[in-house]
Structure 1
């Protein structure tokens, strides 16, 4: 009798321990206090390699990177950035157009911003193109900035295709980062895409635009340091698509291949990512780093290979 009782108690203890361990494993562990996602519009890896971009290339060398990540099809700015920020493909988010079209409304699936806000985190988006308003789900952003803070007022017809240059986007974002230290921040640099459409992918004009974008990136790196959050921040740098000739609409490597770089707290240093990475993995990685559960509906998965198992140790708690 005692042997059976002892066995039962022991079995119950093992079961409780197992269930407790599983519960702890299911609780997301926050690995970074701040995540900044930066998109270089039209960032074809082969052209980046030929451009003067010392800051981006240094961050790639110091952090974890792949130059053969992939975007979604169609490889266009708005559909791709929607996948980048929602963690799902176009078949789910249904944003297949590529201009600001207010009659079509906003994205209908959760974004990384809305998920972060539901978790009590602060969010900001700094856009270089007005079409990003399609991602501005109600109450999902503390700051939507398009050359200045926006209040949701209608966009004048002559501003339907307006573009804010990278240096201005970076200036606005840098000031906000220093002042507010957002938990999740997205920054979009449009210049290289504009130059590609005008002069061609890989043209001298586009390479000069990439150089300007790299200088804009340096403003963000400096802002992170000036804000005193460098030790608890992860920066993810990627692109929405590549390009060839003066366009980017085909299912070919020139248009589909993009860079994916992680740098900062808990990132595996000097690591070349071997696993496949797709643009919708960016949203999954961003919220995973912040300790927000990744929805089962996501197509994207966190790029865990890019991060050290002990990454949580460097995520310093925020001051009360």
Structure 2
């Protein structure tokens, strides 16, 4: 479905003409945010003005699906490579500095080929597994990843940033997914993201994608319960039509191709 939507958009640009304003613009800033352990139903239950703004201006689906098993490093590796755990080789959820890193091509290789300066900010050390030579700037920070991403994005040039945000993955197992404490944590995350999101939107010619790696049920995650596999997808842009993605069925392995299609459409 994603590939078909892209081909239709390309054909429309060809019919309209390459001088059309929508077809001619390039992205200056691409920001992908993965909110760890975000249950899609929380987007309807919590007060989230920042994410809500993106959902209203762009499109979203609550019908996303994680990997087997639905765990953080396994899901993010599939997200970055566009390959299932069996195809990309990352079937375990652990990694430590000094160990082998990802060998398959990732979203950073795609971004680098399109002329972006790339960055990766993550709040779990094991996600360092996904740093490869196509990443220009990277930093592991438990609490400062959002601020580091903004500092990078306000520098001159064309930027591609992947930001991993933690918090819900700690509150969920302690208090329960969709508990009042969980929804309150999402409110704080949403508020913390507001300046970063406004910065990207203010710079114009942007693509913003928000998603997650997995959800959970009760105080459990990573199991074979259907709720553990669920995740959302939000897409907003001022230069490409993203309404076609409203309500689609989405797999975490599709992010890499979706991104590549949008970058081609705006090039």
Query: What is the TM-score normalised by the length of structure 1?
Result: 0.70
Change (3 A) 1:75 1:44: same
Q: Give 1:112's match in structure 2, choosing from 107, 116, 119.
A: 107
Change (3 A) 1:131 1:80: same
Q: Name 2:140's counterpart in structure 1.
A: 146
- Which residues of 2 match residues 43-62 of structure 1 at below 5 A? 43-62=38-57
- Alpha-carbon distance in 2 for matches of 1:284, 1:240: 17
Give the number of aligned pairs. Answer: 246
Alpha-carbon displacement from aligned partner over 1:96-124 (angstroms, at most 9, x marks no partner):
22233346411121111123324543110
Judge which range, 126-135 or 266-275, deviates more. Answer: 266-275
- Which residues of 2 match residues 80-95 of structure 1 at below 5 A? 80-95=75-90
Aligned with 2:95: secondary structure? Answer: coil
Judge which range, 94-103 or 269-278, deviates more. Answer: 269-278
- Which residues of 2 match residues 281-296 of structure 1 at below 5 A? 281-291=254-264
Change (3 A) 1:34 1:67: same
Change (3 A) 1:85 1:272: closer
- Which residues of 2 match residues 246-265 of structure 1 at below 5 A? 246-265=219-238
- Alpha-carbon distance in 2 for matches of 1:189, 1:103: 23
Q: Name 2:62's counterpart in structure 1.
A: 67
- Alpha-carbon distance in 1 for matches of 2:179, 2:229: 19
Change (3 A) 1:30 1:89: farther
Q: Tell me, which stretches of 5 or more residues in structure 2 are unaligned?
A: 1-13, 15-23
- Alpha-carbon distance in 1 for matches of 2:253, 2:79: 5
The Cα of 1:254 is off from its aligned counterpart by 1.0
Alpha-carbon displacement from aligned partner over 1:265-298 (angstroms, at most 9, x marks no partner):
334466662432111211222233223xxxxxxx
Compare the two structures and name the one with the higher strand fraction. Answer: 2
Determine if contact 1:60/1:262 at 8 Å carries over to the other structure.
yes
- Look at both structures and tell me which one has the larger radius of gyration over its CA atoms: 1
Change (3 A) 1:277 1:30: farther
**CA RMSD of the aligned region, Å?**
2.4
* In the alignment, structure 1 residue 127 sits paired with structure 2 residue 122: yes
The Cα of 1:181 is off from its aligned counterpart by 4.5
Query: What is the TM-score normalised by the length of structure 2?
Result: 0.83
Q: Name 1:184's counterpart in structure 2.
A: 160
Q: Tell me, which stretches of 5 or more residues in structure 1 are unaligned?
A: 1-20, 22-28, 148-163, 292-310, 316-320
Aligned with 2:155: secondary structure? Answer: helix
Alpha-carbon displacement from aligned partner over 1:58-87 (angstroms, at most 9, x marks no partner):
211220111111111111000101111111
